[in-house]
Amino acid sequence: MKRPAFHNLIILTLLTLFLAGAGFVVISGAQFYTRMVKENDVSLNRQTVVLYFNQRLKTHDAIGRITLTTQSGIQVLVFEQDGFYTLIYEDRGHLVEQSSETPDIDRLAALPVVPLTALAFALSEHLLTVRYTDEAGEIVTLRYTLVREENPS
């Protein structure tokens, strides 16, 4: 028995709708996944910055060990310990860390830590303020109270 052309047209229409719906689900799922991964990266980078500064300040919080300088127009947070210096600054859109025997910037020795821009520091007697713009364009401000022990152990 032959099917009428009308039945063939209905089957073709239903098949087309199914394929279009499946394509829409795949495309919207891919967009959702991409957005979720980007948000996760931004969140992870924010946590990394906080943990990074927490660790550095626990290690170096002592009188005279933390200074703030400007070199070639770049604001640099300098930690000094046992004749070695750890410099923290922004370079090419990244928070970078440099360890060396001198407190001078050497971009070849700097290691990128996390992407960020507009990094700025403010240092007062017992307060370090870190301000930066993250990957999502949000301005983040971190404030740390410094203990400033004379001889940390």
129 assigned to some structural domain: yes
152 assigned to some structural domain: no
What does the alpha-carbon distance between residue 133 and residue 141 come to, in Å, rounded to a whole number?
9
Could you tell me the two tokens for 124? 């007062």
pLDDT in tens, 22-74: 999 999 999 999 999 988 988 898 899 999 988 888 888 876 788 899 998 99
80 assigned to some structural domain: yes
CB of 146 within 8 A of CB of 129?
no
pLDDT in tens, 113-139: 999 999 999 988 788 999 999 888 899
pLDDT at 149: 63
Q: Whole domain around residue 64: which residue ranges?
A: 6-145
151 assigned to some structural domain: no
Which one-letter amino acid corresponds to residue 71? Q
123 assigned to some structural domain: yes
- Per the structure, the count of domains in the chain is 1
